[in-house]
Amino acid sequence: MTQPSTISVERLTPGIRKITFSNPPVNLIVGETVSRLVEVVTELSEDPQVHVVVFTSSTPGYFFNHFDLGRVADFMPSDPEATPEWIDLVVRLSTAPFISIASIRGRTRGGGDELALACDLRYASREHALFGQPEVGGGILPGGGGTEHLPRLIGRDRALEAILSSDDYDADAAERYGWVTRTVADTELDGFVDGMATRLASFDKAALATAKAQVNRGTLPPDADLRAAYTQFLTSLTWPGPQAFQPQFEKLAAEKGPEELELRLGHYLGIARQESR
């Protein structure tokens, strides 16, 4: 029996599309998520009507979460010479001829944070958005653009703090750092994003796309750096560090439950790391 897609696409107006992610209970990114997003972003890039694409989630407490490392084979490229599918996605998204808006309510970590970073604009619920790059805490490396996009937004030292600590950052800290475009009161987030999308969709598409391309020239990392980071991510999965850490983390998951673990992932990563030594 075919499983329903984790991605749905809605036509809000002729110029606006909404992409909704749903993989309850904790919105882990799986291989189907990536494949479907590549298809959707490609299709929308070729549609001359589409001016704005909004990314959101229907799972309470979560935007896009991290990769499901229990299904790591999903993220292994079948052709070692080909561009990894995740890198293809973030490059396509950041260079697409439409404006992408992440409407962030809930936990946004790892690959989910990297997807948000590839979007053009990021608006976050002040009360309910949370951000993190938890990979180093688990003994592996970010591989989907976190180490390339985040320093360009928030600076080297703050990016090092976020990536090395593997901790969670609330929306207020993310706004101060420049991690998000701005935070908005949760009750106002949907209306604010709708208003921005409507405003941008009313402008000439050529002007929007060309202005974005001009800004991109001075701000986006080289594609080769993104591919190198993904290769290092795959290599890090074979290091002894994550192999030694995983049993302790699984023990915590059994004690606390996977949903509790995801609610406070940064906190529990620190506990598991200390207890694995």
> Residues with catalytic annotation?
114, 135
Torsion of CA 69, 70, 71, 75, to 10 degrees: 20
Per residue in 201-231, is it b (16+ CB within 10 Å) or e — as a string?
Answer: beeebeebbeebeeeeeeebbeeeebbebbb
Which candidate, 92, 75, 87, places its Cα nearest to that of 40?
Answer: 92
Using a 10 angstrom Cβ sphere, with 0-12 exposed, 13-18 middle and 19 or more buried, the burial of residue 276 is middle
* Beta-strand runs (E) in 141-251: 169-170, 182-184
Q: How far apart are CA 179 and CA 214, in angstroms?
A: 21
Q: How far apart are CA 221 and CA 194, in angstroms?
A: 29
Question: Residue 277: what residue type?
Answer: R
Specify whether the CB–CB gap between 121 and 180 falls below 8 A. no
- Supply 188's token pair: 């106002």
